[in-house]
Structure 1
Amino acid sequence: MSSGSNSGGLMSSAGLVRYFDNEDRNAISMSPKTVLAFCVLFGVFVQVLSLTVA
Structure 2
Amino acid sequence: MSKGENSGGLMSSAGLVRYFDAEDRNAIQIDPKTVVAFGVFFGALVMVLRVAL
- TM-score when normalising by structure 1: 0.65
What is the alpha-carbon distance in structure 2 between the residues aligned to residue 36 and residue 52 of structure 1?
A: 24
CA RMSD of aligned residues (A): 2.0
Number of aligned residues = 45
- The unaligned stretches of length 5 or more in structure 1 are 4-8
User: What pairs with 1:15-34 in structure 2 (closer than 5 Å)?
Assistant: 15-34=15-34
Whose Rg is larger? 1
TM-score relative to the length of structure 2: 0.66
Q: Whose helix proportion is higher, 1 or 2?
A: 1
Deviation at 1:16, TM superposition (A): 3.0
Residue pairs, 1:26-45, within 5 angstroms = 26-45=26-45
How far 1:28 moved relative to its partner? 1.0
